[in-house]
Structures are given as C-alpha cells and as structure tokens.
C-alpha cells in the first residue's frame, strides 16, 4: 500500500525521469497497482465522483471567471451576458451551478457511506477529520459562489449568513463590519467573496491530496469492515476499481446532465433572477438545498448565539465521531441496532432539510426542535451507548469470505436511493413561500415544454407585438437586444426586419465631440428601451411602483407547487412556472374584489398576485392588438403569446439547450452501456 514503488520503467526516458523525480512510480503505485478490497460496492464510487466534480467545478469556474465582473453594479448583468452572449456560456454556467448541487449530493452519500461502514474508525481518524475539513471548505465555497450572481437571494443570503457572526459576544458587530468591508453587504463584500471563491477550491484540492494520501496509507475500508489479510482479498486499482468507478461515474453524469440540460433552474430559487435590492427582502430567505438541515438547526434554537453555536456544532461533531463511537465492529452491517439507528438518523437529516425550507411557524418550529435534539442525540448519546451495549453479529474472517458468502442487501440500497431522491427533492425554491395566499395558476400547455419542446415562432412574433404595443408603454427589457430577434431559436426575424424595428426607436447617445448628448435612431445592437428616463420617473408615472424590467420575468417568478408535486417535477421536467404565472396574472384581474377584501387605492384586484392588490392595472382587452396570422384576438391569447415571448426572452438558448441535451444524453447512455459491459468483462477475471 505504501513504501518503495515496484514500478520499473523500461523506456530510457522514463528511467531518466524516474531516477530524478519518481512521479510515474507514484502514479503507478497510487492508481494502478494500489490494492483495493474486492468487495467494494458502488457506494465507494462516490469518492471518484467527487474528484471528478471538483475538476468540473474548477474548470467551469475558471472559465466563468473569464467572463464574470465582480462589481455590485455589473455582476448580475455579467452573469446574464455569459448565458446569453458567450459561446456555450449557458452550458458552462448551468454545469457550474448544478455542479455545486451534484457535488453536495455526492459528498452527502460519501459521508453517509462512511458513517454506515465505520470508515472513521481506527486507523482512519485523520482521513475522516480531513474529510470534515473538506466539507467545511465546500460549504464556505458554495455559499460564496452563490453570492456572486448578486440576485436577491444571493444578497440577502450573504446578509443573513454574515450576520451569524454578530452573535459573538462583545466583538460580533465589529466582526460583521470586518467581513463586509462596509456598513452593509456591498461591493467590497462581493469582491472578497469572488477572490475567496476562486481561492478555496484550490485549498480543497490540496486537502483532497492529503485525504487521498491518508487513504492510501491506511488502505480503503470496505463493506465488511475487516482489513485485507492476503492478496486474495484485494484486486489492483487498475483496471478493477478504475472501470467500476468509470461506469458509476457515467451513470452519475447522466443524472447530472438531466438537471443541466432539462431542468437547469429546478434546484435554484426564482428570486435569484431578480437583481439584488438592498431595500426589499424576499418574503422567505432560504439557503440552497444542501444547507437546509443546518439552517433548520439554526432556527430551532430560540437564542441567537446558541443557534449559531448549534449550527456549527452540528458539523464539528462529525470530527469527534471516531471517539464517540467506540464499537470494535466497523461495519453496521453486523450491528443490527446501530443499523436501524443509522436509518433513523438519515430520516432525521431529511426531515431537518424539509423543515429548513418551511417558514419557521407553528408546528414546523416544534418539529424542528425535536429533530435537532434527535440529530445531536445520535452522535452524543446513541452511538456512544450503543457501542458499549450492542452485541454485534460475527464478522467474516476475511474479505474473500465476505465475497463468497455474499447476500445482497437490496432493501437497504433501495432505501438509500429513495433517501437520496428525497434529499434532492427538498427543493428550497418552490416550497419556501407558504404564506403567499395566492391561488395557484393553472398549468398551460406550452410548445416549449418537455425534452423536445421548441418555441412556436409565430407565437413569439405575436408575443413581441403584444410586448411592443402594450407592455413597452411601461416596462423595459434591458437584457434583450434587437439583434436577439434574429437569433436562431427565437422569433426568427430577418436582420432587415430587426433593423427596421430598431430604427423606430430613438436612443440617447453621446456625449459627442461638443460634449452634448444627442438622439439617434436605434441599431440592432441596442436593447429594448425603457419608456422612462430613469427609475424615479418611472415611479412617479406609476403611483410609486416602478414597473419591473421584463427580461427575466419568466424565470424570476414562481409559485408553490407543493409536496409531492415538486418531486414529480424533476421527472416530468416541469419548468413552466414562470409563463404559467405570467399568463395567470394577465388574465386574473377582477373588477370586484371578493367581499371583505379591502383594496388599497390605486390598486387592482388580481386573483393570482401575492396579496391580490396589484399596482398594475388590467392593460389587456379583446381586439386590442391586431394579429395578421388569424390567431384569436382576445385577452387569453394575448396573455399566452406574451408569456411565451417572455419565456424566450428569459431563456433565449432553450432550444439549443434541449437539442444539445438530447445528443449528449444519447451519447452518455451508449458510453455507460459500453462501460458496463467492459466492467463485466474485466471483473470476470476476478472471480
């Protein structure tokens, strides 16, 4: 496992290098000849998957940083420019943002596997503690990365999390000011988060090297939890573990790409498509799903400092696990009681994750306290006591015996898979706003839904007409340019048509050489203008409420889908909350509010608007916009068309994404199949 390498290069060049820097020998002994236990199951593949995900995050992150601007005024738009204008920018961004989720899914499975099979026990304590350090670094990195797009959730997440440090007695406030570099979360905060978000992955990579080093000294644990005794117990890492990990990785990539290509915003919060606004807090601040259990623990404790301490303790307690659990038997496979407690613990974690996404009211608070107590009880009471009183079943004499007497524990695996799916399904965004009191918008049928969905060109053109003749009187779309109307996968106008449309507007430009501002006709490189010179003018003209920019409206609005509907959404690729909501809003105006509802002055009653009192009047009426393609000229049709148009404006690369996704998925299925048969062929020798 360690010690001098047996690698003897034949090639004189390799020999020359090896004599001076034994790097090939190191690689050979670590990744080729390294003996791995024969009985490893697929839960062990997640180590390799994590290395892969770290690589993906670093590569895509370095590239995104080439296009990203870490400035409070520019960050949001620079992220949108990546998605809209950079070649494959949408792919790189979605790979990175969904990659973070995949990284955490993999790390949670990796950690639970370690818990179940006792991978933290002697002689692997340092290996385990290094893992806890990696997990903490991941949490810091993930949090800071989430702040960078500078949306509403980013901004308020940063505010809430940094304010955790204000709980520290005496120095709290000064520490928070120090973290912010200002009197509130602002540009200095964003700059340092960007710098650290770029740095920390390399620190993680460094600790991963130590983690793998420690692993290679102690050797891998295995499902039987007995150390290899003879060469019959192990197989060389290459080709056996390599090909097995390769197949597992291909399956994981299929799962990952399902999200990237078909439901890229499923795991995110719609609020983060609203630019950061220091003046308005979203109704519910929720972290990304992977922090929800800890967020629930934080909120369960009715004391600021104690809550923060509890949250950090919930992670740090893991580092003491090797001493809290003193059982001699490693694998819970032979510890019936511990096994049951382990699955209860998994349930507790899922429950905490669910509660973290719920508003902290009523029964959720009580449930949160109970589960928090259970969480800590598992580590501080259950494991220490069980390890002293439980009589484990007999463990096999050797790994070879384990392989021969193998009975598949299908039930446990299935349970675990369901558990993981449940964890994943605790999507924060859709569940977090329980108290909106709005009616649920009906699901419409959209041509762009589903894996092969495409925009209806005629519909987009009609939608643009509605936008131009109705919406543009108050709203801007400052992320959409006239040139975009000619982009493939869009309304499909010719360049001449787009130029003619652009020329209809007057754009303020300058200053010229005389220092004056001047007006000029629009060009196709110009964006859809705002009818108001600035935000204050817009407010003045609209009774105090500035009409929001519509560029991202279809992605920035959502509604609660409820449990269990949002779990099915991952399978059905439901991504149409935004357009459903826009359509519902535009058709949801009612002249007379229901009895008992007090409508404030200057508002209109809308069934679907949160709070129902909407500042925007009902602007659509039948026969208002003339269609020349024979489509019905009524409010319902107008609302549908403009909602589809706004969906395209929010996600102009949707068609390209689905098309490329299909090709990639087919390819990955073929590759996974080939890897499976190769794996079988390779492992046929091992039995």
Partner 1 sequence: MTTSSSAGQSRRDFLFVATGAVAAVGAAAAAWPLVAQLNPDASTVAAGAPIEVDLSPIAEGQDIKVFWRGKPIFISHRTKKQIEEARNVNVASLPDPQPDSARVKEGHDQWLVVIGICTHLGCVPIAHEGAYDGFFCPCHGSVYDTSGRIRQGPAPSNLPVPPYAFISDSKIKIG
User: Residue 471 annotated as binding?
Assistant: yes
- Asked if residue 82 lies in contact with residue 60, where contact means CB atoms within 8 angstroms, the answer is no
Nearer to partner 1, 223 or 652 (CB): 652
Binding site annotation covers 474? yes
Contact between 603 and 582 under an 8 Å Cβ cutoff? The reply is: no
Strand partners, 509: 518
Least CB distance to partner 1 at residue 261 (A): 13
Q: DSSP readout, 22-85?
A: THHHHHHHHHTS-EEETT--GGGHHHHHHHHHHHHHHHHHHHHHHH----TTTHHHHHHHHHHH
3-state secondary structure 534-602: CHHHHHHHCCCCCCCCCCCHHHHCCCCCCCCHHHHHHHHCCCCHHHHHHHHHHHCEECCCCCCCCCCCC
Residue 76 CB, shortest distance to partner 1, in Å, is 15
| Local structure of 520: helix, strand or coil | strand
User: Is 475 annotated as a binding-site member?
Assistant: yes
To the nearest whole angstrom, how small is the minimum distance from the Cβ of residue 58 to partner 1?
A: 12
Q: Which residue lies nearer to partner 1 by CB, 402 or 655?
A: 655
Task: Output the smallest distance, CB 190 to partner 1, in A.
Answer: 22
- Compare residues 239 and 322 and give the one whose CB is closer to partner 1: 239
Q: Give dist(CA 255, CA 436) in Å, integer.
A: 33
Q: Which is nearer to partner 1, 62 or 414 (CB)?
A: 62
Q: Which is nearer to partner 1, 209 or 681 (CB)?
A: 681
Beta bridge partner(s), residue 239: none
Specify the residue, 670 or 686, whose C-beta has the smaller distance to partner 1: 670
The span from the CA of 37 to the CA of 226, in Å, is 10
DSSP letter (8 states) at residue 529 = P
Question: What is the rounded distance in angstroms from the CA atom of residue 60 to the CA atom of residue 323?
Answer: 39
Radius of gyration of the chain (CA): 28
The least distance separating partner 1 from the CB of residue 477, rounded to whole angstroms, comes to 15
For 627-651, b where at least 16 C-beta lie within 10 A, e where not — what string?
Answer: beeeeeeebebbbbbbbbbbbbbbb
**Which candidate, 527, 532, 525, places its Cα nearest to that of 548?**
532
**Which stretches of the chain bind partner 1, using CB under 8 A?**
59, 63, 66-67, 81, 84-89, 91-92, 246, 481, 483, 487, 523-525, 667-668, 670-671, 674-675, 677-678, 681
The least CB distance from residue 219 to partner 1, in Å, is: 28
Of 601 and 685, nearer to partner 1 (C-beta) is: 685
DSSP 226: -
Q: Which C-beta is closer to partner 1: that of 59 or that of 377?
A: 59
Give the nearest distance from C-beta 640 to partner 1 in angstroms.
Answer: 28
According to the annotation, is 53 in a ligand binding site? no
Task: Determine which helix (DSSP H) or strand (DSSP E) holds 247, and give its type and residue range.
Answer: helix 242-262
In angstroms, what is the minimal distance from the CB of 524 to partner 1?
A: 7
Q: Write out the binding residues.
A: 471, 474-475, 616
Q: Which residues are annotated as a binding site for heme c?
A: 471, 474-475, 616
């Amino acid at each position: 496992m360690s010690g001098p390498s047996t690698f003897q290069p034949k090639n004189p060049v390799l020999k020359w290098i090896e004599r001076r820097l034994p790097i090939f020998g190191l690689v050979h002994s670590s990744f080729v000849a390294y003996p791995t236990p024969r009985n490893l199951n697929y839960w062990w593949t997640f180590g390799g998957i994590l290395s892969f995900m770290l690589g993906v995050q670093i590569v895509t992150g370095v590239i995104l940083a080439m296009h990203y601007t870490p400035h409070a005024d520019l960050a949001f738009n620079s992220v949108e420019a990546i998605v809209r204008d950079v070649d494959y920018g949408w792919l790189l961004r979605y790979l990175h943002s969904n990659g973070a989720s995949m990284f955490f899914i993999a790390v949670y499975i990796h950690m639970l596997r370690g818990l179940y099979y006792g991978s933290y026990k002697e002689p692997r304590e340092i290996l385990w503690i290094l893992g806890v350090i990696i997990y903490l670094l991941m949490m810091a990195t993930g949090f800071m990365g989430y702040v960078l797009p500078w949306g509403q959730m980013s901004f308020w997440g940063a505010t809430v999390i940094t304010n955790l440090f204000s709980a520290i007695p005496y120095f709290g406030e000064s520490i928070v000011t120090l973290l912010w570099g200002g009197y509130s979360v602002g540009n200095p905060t964003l700059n340092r988060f960007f710098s650290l978000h770029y740095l920390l992955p390399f620190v993680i990579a460094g600790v991963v090297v130590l983690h793998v080093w420690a692993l290679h000294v102690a050797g891998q644990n295995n499902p039987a939890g007995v150390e290899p005794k003879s060469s019959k117990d192990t197989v060389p890492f290459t080709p056996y573990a390599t090909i097995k990990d390769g197949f597992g990785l291909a399956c994981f990539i299929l799962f990952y790409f399902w999200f990237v290509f078909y439901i890229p915003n499923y795991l995110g919060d719609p609020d983060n498509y609203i630019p950061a606004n220091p003046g308005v807090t979203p109704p519910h601040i929720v972290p990304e799903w992977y922090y929800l259990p800890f967020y629930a623990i934080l909120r369960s404790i009715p004391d600021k400092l104690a809550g923060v301490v509890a949250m950090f303790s919930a992670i740090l307690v893991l580092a003491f696990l090797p001493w809290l659990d003193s059982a001699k038997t490693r694998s819970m496979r032979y510890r019936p009681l511990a096994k049951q407690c382990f699955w209860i613990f998994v349930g507790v974690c899922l429950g905490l994750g669910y509660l973290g996404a719920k508003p902290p009211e009523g029964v959720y608070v009580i449930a949160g306290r109970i589960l928090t107590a259970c969480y800590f009880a598992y580590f501080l009471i259950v494991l220490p006591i069980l390890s002293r009183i439980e009589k484990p079943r007999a463990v096999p004499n050797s790994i070879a015996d384990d392989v021969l007497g193998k009975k598949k524990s299908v039930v446990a695996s299935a349970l675990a898979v369901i558990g993981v799916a449940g964890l994943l399904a605790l999507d924060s965004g859709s569940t977090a706003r329980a108290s909106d009191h709005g009616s649920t918008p009906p699901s419409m049928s959209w041509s762009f839904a589903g894996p092969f969905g495409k925009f209806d060109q005629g519909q987009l053109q009609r939608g643009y007409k509605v936008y131009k003749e109705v919406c543009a009187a108050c709203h801007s779309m400052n992320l959409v340019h006239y040139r975009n109307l000619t982009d493939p996968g869009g309304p499909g106008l010719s360049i001449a048509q787009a130029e003619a449309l652009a020329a209809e507007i007057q754009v303020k430009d300058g200053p010229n050489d005389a220092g004056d501002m001047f007006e000029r006709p629009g060009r196709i490189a110009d964006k859809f203008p705002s009818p108001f010179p600035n935000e204050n003018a817009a407010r003045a003209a609209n009774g105090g409420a500035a009409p929001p920019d519509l560029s991202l409206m279809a992605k920035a609005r959502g509604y609660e889908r409820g449990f269990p509907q949002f779990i099915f959404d991952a399978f059905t690729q439901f991504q149409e909350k935004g357009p459903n909501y826009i359509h519902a809003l535009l058709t949801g105006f009612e002249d007379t509010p229901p009895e008992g509802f007090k409508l404030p002055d200057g508002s209109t009653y809308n069934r679907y608007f949160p709070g129902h009192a909407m500042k925007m009047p009902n602007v659509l009426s039948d026969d208002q916009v003339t269609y020349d393609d024979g489509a019905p000229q009524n409010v319902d049709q107008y609302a549908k068309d403009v909602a589809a148009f706004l969906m395209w404006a929010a996600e102009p690369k949707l068609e390209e994404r689905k098309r490329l996704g299909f090709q990639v998925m087919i390819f990955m299925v073929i590759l996974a199949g080939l890897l499976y048969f190769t794996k079988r062929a390779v492992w046929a020798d091992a039995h």
